[in-house]
Amino acid sequence: MLKYIGKRLLLMIPVILGISFILFTIMDLTPGDPARVILGDFASQAEIDALREEMGLNDNFFVRYGRYIGNAVTGDLGNSYRSSAPVVEEIAARFPSTLKIALLAMLFAVLIGIPVGIISAVKQYSIADISSTMLALLFTSIPAFWLGLLLILLFSVRLRLLPAVGSDTWKHMLMPSISLAAAQMATIIRMTRSTMLEVIRQDYIRTAKAKGAAPRRVIFHHAIKNALLPVITTVGLSISNLLGGALIIENVFGISGLGTLMVNSVKSKDTPLLIGSVMFAAVVAGLVNLGVDVLYTYVDPRIKAQFVKKKK
């Protein structure tokens, strides 16, 4: 198992390098001068040229990229052009808000999606099944930012029950999390329903029923565990999607998180801050996917057996 985890961590290195290279290239090709961003519009050309020379911006592309990666390996992601603060500190200050929204959205999606999917499969073609399927299709079709705007109009403007912007209390987190959770919840409902339908048609389920096992025991003891593997995969991918979707939702609800940080860094051509933020998000997504793969071994004994050495 440790060998497998080590290999997966090593495979993340070329992915992170590829992401950083693409972003570094894009930011280098976009118009704008970082020295001008730092000094402001009223700085003289001589001051700008001096700062460019000091920062090494006059070096060729590959020299600058190699210097950045060399510093990043040691944990130094540089300083923000806009605020002059270390990129690591900027990310550390903003990421908790993004993480709270993503985790709360994931909690909503799992706690609602899995039970609804199970009920939909067990009561196939019933009113509950048709209603949940239509609900899943509806939430899949609604963009998260548009749903967020509707929630603001309803609960903040008309009913005045929840605050529209900010992230200070749990009330601030409800609407952003629900907006993010809707599409992922629909995906989990459909995946759970599909896998449960496949499992409950297996021979061992029919055998358990024939032996007189209670329906509740058949579902919760025999069926769910075998249907969880594809659902866990979906949940793992959903966490990565939620971290990415927070980029838009944070701007809709005025939350100062990692997504807002990325958007502002693009607007101000803040290359170190943008690359550092995206690389950090990529590492988090990679670790989440690795955690999902490790979780497989606890759900499915057949996968765990692949990592256990056979006794001679």
Q: Please, which pLDDT band fits residue 311 given cuts at 50, 70 and 90?
A: very low
Measured distance CA(233)–CA(191) in Å, rounded: 10
Over the stretch 260-301, which tens digit does the pLDDT of each residue have? 888 888 877 788 888 888 888 888 888 887 777 777 676 666
Residue type, 254: G
Domain boundaries, the chain: 16-73, 96-305
Distance of CA 248 to the CA centre of its chain: 12
At 227, the amino acid letter reads A
pLDDT digits (tens, 9 = 90+) for 2-40: 776 777 778 888 888 888 898 888 888 877 777 777 777
Superfamily, domain 96-305: MetI-like (1.10.3720.10)
What distances in angstroms separate CA 151 from CA 161, 169, 187, one per listed residue?
11, 17, 21
C-beta separation of 307 from 1 below 8 A = yes
What is the average pLDDT score of the chain? 82
Instruction: Give the residue from 89, 79, 68, 95 showing the smallest Cα distance to 285.
Output: 95
The angle at the Cα of 110, spanning 171 to 15, to the nearest 5 degrees, equals: 100
Q: State the average pLDDT over residues 96-122.
A: 87
- CA dist., res. 311 & res. 290, Å (int): 27
The token pair that represents 167 in the structure block: 């992230």
d(C-alpha 265, C-alpha 271), whole Å: 7
Question: In 47-198, where do the E strands start and end?
Answer: none
- 219-237 pLDDT, tens digit per residue, is 777 777 777 777 777 777 7
Most confident of 28-37, 190-199, 206-215: 190-199
> Integer distance in angstroms from the first to the last C-alpha of the chain?
19
Is the torsion defined by CA of 47, 51, 57, 59 positive or negative? positive
d(CA 2, CA 34): 43
- The tokens describing 176, both together, are 């952003």
